[in-house]
Amino acid sequence: MTDICLVIGAGAGIGGHVAKRFAREGYHAALCRRSDQDGLDNMVAEIEQAGGTASGHLLNAVDDGAIEKLIDDIEADIGPINVVVYNLGAQIGNRSVADTPLKTFELGWRMGTFAVFRVAQKLFPLMEQRGGGALLVTSATSAMRGNAGQSSHAAAMGGRRMLCQALNAEFAPKNIHIAHILIDSAVNAPDTLGKLLGQERFEKLLEAKAQGKDEIMEPSAIADTYFHIAHQHRSAWTFELDMRAFTDTAWWNHPLDL
């Protein structure tokens, strides 16, 4: 039976490239995103043209029961899920506390923290029954420190990180590998960074950064590491790692303010 990799948040950045990477290695890639059926169809077609198999699924991860139904459907129609990549963020740009509606703050939590718990609660018992599995969670610097303007995002990501640790402590001994992957610099992904910065600023960044300099994170390179982590021997599992472009400053560094 084909192994299945479920990618929640399969856009043009990390999610899509991780899906392609797993598909290239023989996995069926189950791709989910909230909207853009055409985008999904294109990605499925691209994977199939490269000799892989994939399926596309529209999913609004914050809807009650939606994640749970998706997992039921895939398990029934395609087969058992071996690896889940949770790749939805909760970044809303820099917003002061006054400028962050309660509904927005709550939505950040629903996307950033709660949905991860729901995936685990639904899927881990199945994985445990089958002897194991893996959950790779894309994370952000806001999981490590809360900056000004990031109250919603930082609360969601901080909660996610501690949740992942608790999941790891409970489920690693049951052979379910949880990895919390800290993406610490800008990723070449038009539908997230592009939106955040605006088209013009994003293109300028791409131009300035990409002149042979690898200063913007390539999602295909990130995907190589996701694949490696998901296939570590279980005597040597990684729970957490950071990743950034070689020219970027790590989140813990900044110039001495003298």
- Backbone dihedral angles phi then psi of residue 220, each to the nearest 5 degrees: -70, -35
- Interface region with its own copies, contact rule CB under 8 A, candidates 2-10, 32-40, 49-57, 108-116: 108-116
| Candidate list 177, 189, 194, 230; residue touching its own copies; CB under 8 A | 177
| Candidate list 75, 109, 126, 191; residue touching its own copies; CB under 8 A | 109
Nearer to its own copies, 26 or 125 (CB): 125
| Candidate list 39, 79, 158, 190; residue touching its own copies; CB under 8 A | 158
Q: Which residue has 């995103």 as its token pair? A: 33
The residue type found at 232 is Q
| DSSP 8-state secondary structure symbol assigned to residue 250 | P
**Smallest distance, its own copies to C-beta of residue 201, A:** 8
By three-state DSSP, how is residue 180 classified?
strand
| Candidate list 58, 175, 190, 191; residue touching its own copies; CB under 8 A | 175
| Candidate list 71, 81, 164, 189; residue touching its own copies; CB under 8 A | 164
The residue type found at 111 is M
| Candidate list 4, 27, 160, 192; residue touching its own copies; CB under 8 A | 160
- Restricting to residues 222-251, which ones interact with its own copies according to CB under 8 A? 222, 224-225, 228, 232-251
| Residues in binding contact with its own copies, number by CB under 8 A | 92
Give first-to-last CA distance, the chain, whole Å. Answer: 61
**Smallest distance, its own copies to C-beta of residue 173, A:** 5
| Candidate list 2, 45, 130, 166; residue touching its own copies; CB under 8 A | 166
| Candidate list 59, 189, 217, 230; residue touching its own copies; CB under 8 A | 217
- Restricting to residues 127-156, which ones interact with its own copies according to CB under 8 A? 142-151, 154-156
Rounded Cα distance, 199 and 121, in Å: 38
| Candidate list 40, 84, 186, 230; residue touching its own copies; CB under 8 A | 186
- Restricting to residues 46-105, which ones interact with its own copies according to CB under 8 A? 94, 96-98, 100, 102, 105
Element at 181 (helix H, strand E): strand 176-183
Greatest distance between any 2 Cα atoms in the chain: 61
Q: Length of the chain, please?
A: 258
In which order are the strands placed within the sheet that holds 176-183? 53-58, 28-33, 4-8, 81-86, 133-140, 176-183
**Smallest distance, its own copies to C-beta of residue 60, A:** 16
Interaction of residue 214 with its own copies, rule CB under 8 A: yes
**Smallest distance, its own copies to C-beta of residue 111, A:** 13
**Smallest distance, its own copies to C-beta of residue 141, A:** 8
> CA nearest 88: which of 122, 44, 139, 134?
139
Element at 137 (helix H, strand E): strand 133-140
Rounded Cα distance, 176 and 155, in Å: 26
Q: Cα 257 to the chain's mean position, in Å? A: 34
